[in-house]
Every structure is written in C-alpha cells, then in structure tokens.
A = this chain, B = another copy of it.
Amino acid sequence: MTARSATAVLAGLDGVRDDLESFYRDLHQHPELSHQETKTAAKVADRLQTAGFHVTTGVGGTGVVGILANGDGPRVLLRADMDALPVREATGLDYASEATSTDADGNTVPVMHACGHDVHVACLATAAALLAAGKDQWSGTLIALFQPAEEVANGARGMVEGGLQDLVGPVDVALGQHVLPMPSGSVGTRVGPVLSAADSLRVTVHGRGAHGSMPQAAIDPVVLAAMIVIRLQTIVSREIAPTQPAVLTVGSIHAGTKSNVIGDSAVIDLNVRTYDEQVRSQVLEAIERIVRAECVASGSPKEPDFERYDEFPVTTNDQAVTERTAAAFTDFFGDAAGELPLQTASEDFSDIPNAFGVPYSYWGIGGIDPDTYAAAERAGRVSSDIPVNHSPYFAPVIQPTLDVGTQALVVAALAQLGSGA
C-alpha cells in the first residue's frame, strides 16, 4: 500500500521536475552562510505557502516550519538544512557560485554550497509540495522543517530554543537525509550509529613577539603551533585503539602577519570525530595535555586558551523507524537501496528529535555520476578522485540526484504516515 501511494504521489514529479532543477540551480548559485539564510528561507516559505502549508518563518533566526494537517494519523517531521560554507567554488559548473559574504568575524569570504544543502532544500520543498498535492494518499500531519546553521552546529538547537515545540506541537517521528559521495541514484540507511559526534576547539597559544632577525628575543608561536599540529597526529596514531574510529583534523592554523616579524600568538582550529563517549573524552584530554606540554617546551609565557564550539551529537538511527524506512526504500528503489556505511561526518539533525524525545531515521543519497564513480572504483581511486562534501569541487550531478532525493523523502514519509482516505 505504501508503495502504491508513493507511486501515486510521485506521479506528479514529472510535472515539476523542471521547476525542481531550476530551483536547485538558483539555490546553488546563491548560497548563504550559516545564520544568514534569509533569501533561501524566503524562497522556501513562499513555496510551502503556495503548496498549502501553514508557514512560520524566523524560527530560531532564519528557520522555516511548514505544517500541513491532514486528518488523524502520525505527525511526521521532515527536515532539511539550508546553510552554505565559506569555500571558494572550483567546480567550473555554469551555475557555480561566485558569491561572497561577510562572516562572523567581519571578513569577506567566498560562499559555496559545498555540502549539498541546496539539494536538501530543493528536494524537501518539492517533496512537501507533492505530498500536499497528493494528500488523499495519506493521513496525519506533515511538518516540513528547514533549519539554519547546521554547519556551525547550532541551527537545530536554535530552532528548539526559539520555541519549536510550542509551534509544532507533538511529533511522532523525524526524518532527514544527506547527499553523499556515493553513486547518484543510490539511497542507503542503517540501524544504530550513523554519524559521529563532533567537537570543535579553538586553541590559542602564546609566544613572545620580536623582529624576525632576533629569534633569541622571541618565543616563536609559529614553531610552537607547528609542533602542536605534528604532536596531535599521535593521538589517533598511538593513543586510540585502532578498532575505535576517531578523527582529529586541524582545519586551520593562523599566525603572524609578515615574513620578518615574529608574532606573539598562533591560533589553530581543530575538529574531533568519535562514536563513543570514552574515546571522545580521551581525545579531548589528550589534546589539552599535548597543547599545554608543547607550550611548556617552547617556554610560552602564558597558558594556552581553549574554546569549545560546534559540538555535534552522535546520530543513532532508531531500529523500528529505520527498518520501516529501509523496507519502503527497497520496495520503491529496488537494488538502488542499500546499507549505508558508518559515516565520519556529523549533523545536528538529532537535536530536533531529541528535543521532542522521539525516534528518528536519517539516510544518505548519492550525488556522484554513476559512471564516474564506477570508473574510480575500478581504478581503486574513489578516495582520491571523487570530490567529497566540503571540497571546492563538490558538485552533485543534478539527475538522478534530485529525483531520488525527492522520492526518498516522499517514500520515507509515507512509510510513517497513515494510509489515505
């Protein structure tokens, strides 16, 4: 029955595919940084309104919630994230972004949808419209949620703190998806842990400035920061059990303004991924131990500063919801549906169902041209040749990516909703 109603609802896709694709191109060409998603939010709100949803904007800043009540039945929340990244696009696409924006520090930065949130927005807006148009095929309440600021880990929490629960009322289940470097056309999910916990840390270490020709008068923060970066590698290589996945990335390092001036501090920003609370603590403690000791080794005049931010929860798919979703995917997509491998990425999606205390399921859809992917796989070059999320070269193929992203949302929603009249 689900399969039949999905087919019925999705019959409308042919009629809106051009709109879906042009909406996607528009979003891709006009990316907005976290908490600045005003234009994206306005476009989304407009579409939901047109589709018949009751729409609230400005939830937790720029968040948008559309509610479509359709009789008795489960209350199902579908979520997409809207923000883009400070990355200079290098895809060469004819709809590539040339946008820049002012970031939170007041710097002008390039902006790019390098993580595929434009896919998520376009697909959810379209799926919501199709479900609204085919409301005879299901019963219950559909909540289409577009959140800001997933990239900085506080967009979902911001909507919760902005009154999401009062606005929406009870929810039974939440669903979300992400476009990933898998073959376009494929969809995958898994029971249990699916995305990692993530913790960001800004470390500022202090040296003593001097003219570059007088190192003896200085404590060199560049050398200190470099030693820390190198030393931090040993946490994953030596301190964590090899069977425990853990990632420590120093994403940025900044020190000094001129070649011939030794500055007085250096700043590194790092990110930790783990799937286990004990491993997480162990990594975070090791970072602090190493940074402090390296500062002592340099004779640093001042304790280092540590600032935690972007703390993402683990994403752990509920067994019942996910088995139901996976079965519906297999019905609809056949062999293109499968098991999603454990991901090292993180998401704040689960902050939403966790606020409601309800189960959730999260899946991935492929964005890479299947032939390209297959060729890379044959050559054993997937990891080197396929641009991944956050790469300046990340460029999902438009189709079948957008179709599958829309279909997956419809199929998964119908699998949770009540049957039609």
Interface residues of A (CB under 8 A from B): 85-87, 107, 109, 115, 151, 181, 196, 198, 200-202, 208-218, 220, 222-223, 225-227, 229-231, 233-243, 245-264, 266, 268-271, 273, 278, 286, 289-290, 292-294, 296-299, 309-310, 341-346, 380, 383-384, 386, 388-393
Closest to A86 in B: B257
Set of chain B residues within 8 Å of A263, measured between Cβ atoms: 251-252
Complex CA–CA separation, A241 to B388 (angstroms): 13
Q: Which of B271, B299, B383 contacts A217 (CB 8 A)?
A: B383
A285 CB → nearest B CB, Å: 10
Closest to A228 in B: B226
Closest to A279 in B: B216
Set of chain B residues within 8 Å of A208, measured between Cβ atoms: 384, 391
Complex CA–CA separation, A200 to B135 (angstroms): 64
Instruction: Tell me whether B242 and A251 are in contact (CB under 8 A).
Output: no
Q: A87-B261, A230-B227, A293-B293 are in contact. Are A390 and B212 (CB under 8 A)?
A: yes
Instruction: Tell me whether B225 and A261 are in contact (CB under 8 A).
Output: no
State the oligomeric state as a number of copies.
4
Instruction: Tell me whether B297 and A341 are in contact (CB under 8 A).
Output: no
Q: A233-B223, A297-B293, A345-B213 are in contact. Are A392 and B252 (CB under 8 A)?
A: no
A289 CB → nearest B CB, Å: 6
Instruction: Tell me whether A238 and B218 are in contact (CB under 8 A).
Output: yes
Complex CA–CA separation, A181 to B217 (angstroms): 11
Complex CA–CA separation, A236 to B209 (angstroms): 18
Closest to A246 in B: B242
Complex CA–CA separation, A229 to B162 (angstroms): 46
Instruction: Tell me whether A198 and B213 are in contact (CB under 8 A).
Output: yes
A248 CB → nearest B CB, Å: 7
A-B contact pairs, 23 of them (CB 8 A): A86-B257, A115-B211, A208-B384, A209-B390, A210-B390, A213-B273, A213-B346, A216-B239, A216-B240, A217-B391, A220-B234, A222-B229, A226-B226, A227-B227, A230-B233, A233-B234, A235-B237, A237-B248, A241-B344, A242-B344, A253-B254, A253-B266, A259-B309
